[in-house]
Structure formats: C-alpha cells, structure tokens
Structure 1
Amino acid sequence: MKRNCLHTAASVVLAAAMALAGCSGGGETAKPSGEQGGSQGGQGGSGQVTLTMNSWRVEDTEGYKKIIQAFEAENPGIKIDFKPLKATEYDTILNTALQSDSGPDILQLRPYAPGVSLAEAGHLEPLDNLPGIREFPQDVLAAATGKDGKVYGVPLSLNSTQIYYNKKIFDQYGLKEPKSWDELIATAKTLKEKGVVPFAFGAKEGWLLSLSHGVIAPGTYNGNAFVDKLLKGESTFTSPEFVKSLQRMQELAPYFPENFVGLELNDIRTMFFTEKAAMFINGSFELEGLKKMNPDLPIDFFPMPTDDGSTVLTTWVDGSYAVNAKSKHKQEALKFLAFMTTKKFGELFAGEFKRISAVPGVSTDDPLVNKMAEMSQSIATPYLMVVHFAEGNPSTKKTLENALQGMYLGKLTPEQVAQEVQKSAEKWFPAFKK
C-alpha cells in the first residue's frame, strides 16, 4: 500500500511510519477572524506574545523544548508555553476550557472523529490557507478534516502498532518471530513454561484493550478485505471473523501477568523494559520511551500473522495540532502551526521522539522506525476503531473497550462483546442504519 493511498483499504495507512517531512508551502497566511474570547496566552513586554500549547503527552516535555527553541530563535516576538496534561484527563480538561472560552491557543487534537467534533462545535480555526498544509496527502489530512471539508489540524505523526519482543529472551529459548497464530500461542506457552511472562499486558485502561485488539483482529479477518465489506454494510461486527478476533483476545489471557485486569500502561511498560516480560503489544509512540528507560533493551517487533499466511501492520494518523478559534493571538499561533508543516520541524520531531513525522519526505536514522515505515508501505491495515468507529455516545471504540474489560472479568463472552459493539455501531454508522 502506498503512502499516498492511506485510506485505500479503508483508511489510513501509517505511511505511518515514517517517511516524513518535507514541506514549505503555498497559500497565504490565514488572518485572525475576530479577537474576542479568552485565551491563556499572555502579552509580554516589548510586544512579545506568549502562546499556551496543550498536549496529552507529558512524556514529550523535554523533546518539545528543543523544537520550541528552534521556532523561537526564528520568531523572537513569540514564546511558546508547552503545558501537557495527563492523557487520561486531557479530553475533559480541554473540553471544559474550550466551552468556557479559556482554552489554550494551540491544542493537540485526538485523531479522526474526537478531534473533528471540536471543529463542529466551533472551537477550531480552519487551516485551509495555512502555508504548507497542502504538502500533506489528503488521506493524512483526513484525520483532522471536518465534515465541511475544511482542514482543522496540522498532522503530527504517523503511527503503527505491533508486537514488540525482547530478542535476548527469544534467543535464550530458541524462539523465532511467529508466522501464524498457532506459532504465537506456542511461543507464549514456551515462555510461560520457562517462568517468563509472555506478554506485558494490562486491562485497567480501556484504550490498551482496543489498541491490542487492533493488532490481533486483522490476523483473523486477513487485513483490508473485511474492512471494506464492513464499511459498505456488507458485513457486521457479529461476523464469524470478528467474533474469532475476540475469542483470540480471550485465548491470550493465560499468557498475561497475574492480576492483569488491574495493571495500567506504566505497570506493563516497566515490566517490558526491565525484561520481566518477553512481548509487549503497543504503538510506535512507545519506542522512544522504552529506549530511554533501557538503552540496552534488545528490542525488535513483528507484524501480526494472518490466517491466510500473510502479515499486517495496523496503522493510523495520530494527533494533529490546531488553533483555538477564540485565541487572542491567532496570527502568532498560526505562525507556529506553519512551522509544524516544515521539513525542519519534521526532522526535529523524528530525531527527538524516534517517531514518524507526518510531514512528507523526512527519514530517520532509527532502524526500527524505518522497518515500521517500510512495512506500512506494503502491509498496512487501518486501526479500525480509531479511523472509522470512534463516533457515537459512548463511541463504538469505547463500547469495545468496556466490553473487553467485561470479558476479562468473566462477565461477557466474546459473542456478547461482538453484539455490544454491533449495537453501538448501528446507532450512528450510516451503513448499519436501518
């Protein structure tokens, strides 16, 4: 699958992974449309403007210091105050602030429906005339494009999610990257028999469950053909292949840590980088942190084996950055977002975070990131719940997460989980509406 066809198979291909940046752009700088409203940005002396910038990634604080310094060196009249919030609290705090006209000048958008909903509520400034914005492929811009066709965010990164593994532990027990589901289970069984936790896994945070299912499920429905049928309403979440994906999530449970239902990301991340677990299902965004916490970690990853003998890599466009429509300093905020479309920003981002800038044309010096990039070009499948089923109240994605938690607590069967997901989607998804 080519990078400029992220949505061809029904969405976003992480072209994700990592060929990124390049830019500079056309169009004229967008102008402020009204100065009313509150913003946390302040006016300093000598005409200096301070912009507040929110994100859900507290762990990115140090990396953004270098990026912001590069921007401020070229724009001495503008200061950026990066104020990240805890990921689990971000949405609530941000929505409350925006509704009271006191939100940040620059904010990170959740990808697809959740971010677009802020535009529909009138909180975001359109970016169609932002210099550099049209350098991004349409499928990448789709993650922050409203139903009105306007672009509201500068795409930040292209993500994949996969199964990381500890090469030293695998070598110690003569294990190879599994090429089928049966081989994956046999690998987990061998590790457990040797006294090693096969998977660092936790079910306390629901998003970890939908993310893990996003890796496991395409192996049962063989990637994109099922996704295409689902989006056309020719198949449903109660189909045998989707139910099978939930059964496989249940089948993995014996190979999770003790008391895994009470473990969260920090617990399982620590378990993996301290080499107490052999495998870790998570996103490309975890790579930089894992390497920082254990520079000697012998890490690699493998894509998900499919039942038809192939492999798939789950991909999506991650968060974008937007401008608060009520910011008192929109011109300055737009200037920073224009900087985010440039190759300079893309290279800084990729270098600092070992991630994929969404800016076209940027390569990295990290072999694992490049491996993700290569696979995303040929074997990508969309993170279904993020790209296509993040709407509804609660969203279908959230419904899956809650139901999987119920399954792991012994309250729901895989078949009942599928029924809950289908009922949720039928309430809003056009192809399912009757």
Structure 2
Amino acid sequence: MRKYSFLLLVFLLFITTGCGSPKPKLNIVMGLGEAEWKVMREVVFPPFEKLHGVKIEAIQINAADLPGVLETQVKSRKVKIDLFAQDNMQLEYLANRGLVADLTDFKKELPETVVPGLVKAGEFDFRLYFLPFRPIVQITYYNADKFKQYGLEPPRNWSELYLVARIFKQKEGAGKIIFKANGGVPTATQLYEWIISAGGNPLTINDEGCINTLAFLQSLWPYLSPDSIHANADTSNEYLAQDSAYLMQNWPSGLRVIVEQYAKEDIATYPGFAGPSQEAHLIGGEMLGIPKGSKKQELALQFVKYLQSRAVQEKLAAQLGWPSLRTDAYETVPAWMKPHFESVNKAMQSGVFCKEVYYWDDYVKYINEAFADIVIRGKPVKETLDYYHNQLELAKQRV
C-alpha cells in the first residue's frame, strides 16, 4: 500500500506542477505488471503520441485505492486523471456515486467485432459508463494424450464429466480432475459459474440451481484429484503441467506457465462443459472509464478507440497473451496460441459476469463454508444451504 501511495503522490505532484514534456498530456491509470507496462510504453503508446502530438503519462494505482482517488478529484473539481482501467467488480460503485462520465454516445464507435457481453458489462441503468479493455474468461484445459490413451473425449456436460472423472480414478488409482477447492475467491467464482450453468442465482446460496450444483459436486468429489483441496488459479496450472491432473478450468494466463515454461505440448483447451441448464463461462478483467469532469474526454476517447483497434489488439494478444475484446484480433499470435485463443473466443460467447454486490465478501465467506460442509464433509445439501442463506441475509442487514 505504501508503494502505491508513494507512486500516486509522485503522479499527482507531476501533473499538478506541469513539469516534464511541454506537449499536452493524457494522464492514464492502469494496473499492469512490469512486462505489460513495457509493451505499453514501447509499443502501444508511441504511435498514438506521435499522431496526436501528446505525451501519455501512465501510473499504476491499486484497484481498491482508485475509487477513493476518483472521489477526491471529482468532488474537488480538480480532475487530473483522464482515463482509467478498473476491475469489472468495482464498476457499479463508480457509476452510482456519479464519478464517471456517461459514454453512451460513444457506443456507436465501438468495433463491430467487439464481444457483445463486454459492452453490456459497462452499462448501468441503461446508460454506458465503461468501455471494454482487457477481458479474461475461464476456459478448460485438458491433457490430450491422456484422454486419447483411455479413448475419452473432453466432457461436454456434467454427466460426461462425472464419467470421465470415474474412469481416470479407476485407471490411474487417483482422481485427475481439478476443482479449485482451496477456498476464497477462486472457489467462490468457480461455484458461481457452475451454479449459473445449473440455472441458479448464486447469490441466493439455496435456490434450486445452488442445490443441484452442490449435490452434484458432493457426488463428484470422491473422483476428483486430491490436489483439489489445495487448488487455486496458480497451483492448478502446476498440477496440470506436472501431470498430477488431466483436466481443469482456469484463466488463459495459465497457457504461458503450462505451454511455455513447462513445454507441455500435450495440453489442449476448449471452452468447457455445460451444466443442466446452459453453458456458462465466467468473465473477469478490466474496463475503461473517464472521470466525470475530465477536460480531455475527447482525447481520451480517441485513445480508447486506438486501444480497441484491431492493430493494437493484435499486438496485445501476440506480445502479452491477452485475450482480446475483439473476435478478429488473433491473426498475428504465435501458431501455438491460436487454438487456445479460439477456445477463449468461443467461451466468451457464453460468458457471464459476477454481479457486483455490496455484500460480496460475505457471499464468498458463506459459499465457501457451505462448499466445505457439503462437498468435503458430506453434510446434507438443502439444510446446509438454507443455513448459509440465512447467515448471508443477516450479514446483508448488518452491512
């Protein structure tokens, strides 16, 4: 936190004093890693800066800190940030607090090939406040050689998943399918996706879709990999790469770990399997917004248009492995990545977002406790879910 606060202070002092380049500046906030900033500064920014005669000043601010910074600037009418990227689970608050510009008129400028669900995620009360930037979606990884060895196809529904899980355990002596059961947000988000695919509303904890999902997982648990209890987004990649598991659901970032670092050419991907009601794949990532009161809105929108262009999206996909907001941005990616990005594209067509709610932390807590009680400890499904539903309702009242 001290690091972000120091960087923010330097940033605000810099743009307030006007030191540095004499060119007009576009102040952009994003949360990126060092390698990502390198590509932005060396590959993405320069052509735009040259074309528009501007200097892009960029800084990283923690997603949790950004709302407070925006609130201070907007309320004081001293808006210094011209454009920002923010996690999709932090958007509704910014819109409801009146901290962001209404971008509905820009909707007609969005690329024709943009994934439709990404646009919908930026809308609140039928107005567009946020624009697609950096989506991620869960896909399913599997060990193609092991599936072929046992004459199996990747499962397309829960019934097939159950059959595959039983066969692997019978043949290998241990389960080989991972469910992220280590707790916290990874477990909650995977459950969220499964409950949606069962036709439920995850936030109730105890509707029919929730009941069916937890009941199925309880029956599946004996045939899952024993590593599931320690599995999160990072460790799942390791289990698959080391042949401890043969199938998992995870974010596309795992590709660089599994395929590049471990050179696992036998790992394939596909969108995944459907539940009893539908196929649903959880989408996360970041959206772009412009603070209300920014004096450089037009320039910021020009930069957004540039970022969303096919040329820039192709560079981000090829050089950083980012899934694209467009469906036509994968022509220049390395050959080994193309089939995996095809999985990403298809998964996004059935993409769902977690609903942003003020009681999210409480939901994560209670759905994890319900999972542990039912799936791991074998407690009765409906009674247990009813109990945690009531606990969540009490927590919502306290908040």
**TM-score (normalised: structure 1):** 0.67
Partner of 1:168: 145
CA distance in structure 1 between the partners assigned to 2:347 and 2:359 by the alignment: 34
Say whether residues 1:243 and 2:219 are aligned partners: no
Q: Is the 8 A contact 1:156 1:319 kept in 2?
A: yes
Partner of 1:211: 189
Say whether residues 1:390 and 2:356 are aligned partners: yes
CA distance in structure 2 between the partners assigned to 1:46 and 1:171 by the alignment: 62
Say whether residues 1:350 and 2:317 are aligned partners: yes
Partner of 2:3: none
Q: 1:304 corresponds to which letter in structure 2? A: F
Quickly say closer, same or farther: Cα 1:361–1:274, change in 2 above 3 A.
same
Quickly say closer, same or farther: Cα 1:297–1:197, change in 2 above 3 A.
farther
Identify which of structures 1 and 2 has the higher relative contact order when contacts are C-alpha pairs closer than 8 Å and 6+ apart. Answer: 1
Quickly say closer, same or farther: Cα 1:189–1:360, change in 2 above 3 A.
closer
121, 143, 146: which one pairs with 1:143?
121
Q: 1:345 corresponds to which letter in structure 2? A: V
Q: Is the 8 A contact 1:53 1:81 kept in 2?
A: yes
CA distance in structure 2 between the partners assigned to 1:360 and 1:177 by the alignment: 24
Quickly say closer, same or farther: Cα 1:46–1:286, change in 2 above 3 A.
same
Aligned length: 366
Structure 2 portions without partners, runs of 5+: 1-10, 74-78
Quickly say closer, same or farther: Cα 1:143–1:259, change in 2 above 3 A.
same
Identity of aligned residues (%): 14
Q: Is the 8 A contact 1:162 1:215 kept in 2?
A: no
Query: Residue deviations 1:85-119, cap 9 Å, x none?
Result: 7xxxx4423334334449955332333x6312212
Partner of 1:119: 95
Quickly say closer, same or farther: Cα 1:406–1:71, change in 2 above 3 A.
farther
Q: Is the 8 A contact 1:155 1:321 kept in 2?
A: yes
SS in 2 for 1:47: coil
CA distance in structure 2 between the partners assigned to 1:281 and 1:275 by the alignment: 15
Quickly say closer, same or farther: Cα 1:93–1:103, change in 2 above 3 A.
farther
Query: Residue deviations 1:409-429, cap 9 Å, x none?
Result: 74975433366358758999x
| 1:242-281 to 2 correspondences below 5 Å | 242-256=210-224, 258=226, 260-281=228-249
Q: Is the 8 A contact 2:205 2:367 kept in 1?
A: no
Partner of 1:107: 84
Quickly say closer, same or farther: Cα 1:72–1:405, change in 2 above 3 A.
farther
**TM-score (normalised: structure 2):** 0.72
Query: Residue deviations 1:31-62, cap 9 Å, x none?
Result: xxxxxxx9576342323536342226677445
Q: Is the 8 A contact 1:107 1:321 kept in 2?
A: yes
CA distance in structure 2 between the partners assigned to 1:185 and 1:323 by the alignment: 46
Partner of 1:340: 307
More displaced stretch, 256-265 vs 209-218: 256-265
Q: 1:183 corresponds to which letter in structure 2? A: E
Quickly say closer, same or farther: Cα 1:94–1:252, change in 2 above 3 A.
farther
Query: Residue deviations 1:358-378, cap 9 Å, x none?
Result: 24654545123224434655x
Q: Is the 8 A contact 1:166 1:297 kept in 2?
A: no
Q: 1:420 corresponds to which letter in structure 2? A: Y
Structure 1 portions without partners, runs of 5+: 1-37, 429-434
Q: Is the 8 A contact 2:100 2:291 kept in 1?
A: yes
